[in-house]
Structure 1
Amino acid sequence: METSVNNLSSNPGTMGKPFTSNIDEASAGAHHTIDKVTDATRPAVERVATGAHQAVDKLADAAANAAETFGVKSEQLKEAQTRITENCRNYVRDNPLATVGIAVAAGFLLSKFINAR
């Protein structure tokens, strides 16, 4: 058995050439197949990637528009609150007796409502 191992080790190229050739052919075939599959799937992958980018862009635009609208509406609500508060102050200043009467009536109704339960 040692002689056969020695023969192989003394002539390493004689036994390995057919195997190396087969491995090289298999490797080249695999690379060719991979290239075909890659070429065939590349347009589909690019379409999916483009669609995903467009969807993300649309979502980002919608979020930006919503944030801008929210900011505008928030400012409008603050302005409305300021106007209403100022109108109430002016009414109380101009009509102090009516304001006290409204407050007493509201308190009376509220106490009746709470005690009824």
Structure 2
Amino acid sequence: MAAKKGNPADETIRRAADSAHSAVDKVADVTSDTADTLNEKGQQIKHKEEQWLESVNQYVQKNPCTSIGIAVAGGFLLSRILSNR
């Protein structure tokens, strides 16, 4: 007895489902890679921020008068800029 042929519509649906599944897998892989890269960059930024804050803290401890002067001047300039708006 000869094997029964499948319905052409069923075959088309199966191929479309396989293609969709493959596309979803590719998107998931790219999304995962992107998330990993963003996480790594976020960690690098956090590390740089910690280094910068440590440098600022050391500068303020070594130069307290200069630091106060810089803060006062910065506050004055910021207030002038914001008051003109």
The two structures have a TM-score, normalised by structure 1, of 0.60
After superposition, the CA RMSD in angstroms is 2.0
Structure 2 CA distance for aligned equivalents of residues 77 and 98 of structure 1: 28
Given residue 72 of structure 2, which amino acid in structure 1 is its aligned partner? V
Larger radius of gyration: 1
Q: Tell me which protein shows more helix as a share of its residues.
A: 1
Aligned length: 82
Q: Identify the residue that residue 92 of structure 1 maps to in structure 2.
A: 60
Structure 1 CA distance for aligned equivalents of residues 43 and 81 of structure 2: 36
Structure 2 CA distance for aligned equivalents of residues 115 and 36 of structure 1: 82
5+ residue gaps, structure 1, are 1-34
Q: Identify the residue that residue 16 of structure 2 maps to in structure 1.
A: 48
Structure of higher RCO (CA pairs closer than 8 Å, 6+ residues apart) = 2
The two structures have a TM-score, normalised by structure 2, of 0.78
**Identity of matched residues, %:** 39
Q: Identify the residue that residue 75 of structure 1 maps to in structure 2.
A: 43
Q: Structure 1 segments of 4 or more deviating over 4 A?
A: none
